[in-house]
Amino acid sequence: MSKLEGGGIFYDVNKKIKHMYQIDKAYRKSRKQD
């Protein structure tokens, strides 16, 4: 059970990192167009 919870935490963190990466990519793209 605790193993499953740990996996959930890792999954959540991974999702946040991916989301931040996408925001960073979009930010750099918008800066380049300027």
Q: pLDDT digit of tens for each residue in the chain (34 aa)?
A: 455 666 777 888 999 999 999 999 999 999 987 6
Cα dist from 12 to 2, 6, 8, 16, 27, whole Å = 15, 10, 6, 6, 23
What is the reported pLDDT for 34?
63
Q: 25 is in which domain, residue-wise?
A: 1-34
Three-state secondary-structure class, residue 30: helix
Three-state secondary-structure class, residue 1: coil
| The total number of structural domains that make up the chain | 1
Backbone angles phi, psi at 2, to 5 degrees: -65, -30
d(CA 18, CA 23): 9
d(CA 17, CA 11): 10
What is the reported pLDDT for 23?
96
What is the reported pLDDT for 1?
46
What is the reported pLDDT for 21?
97
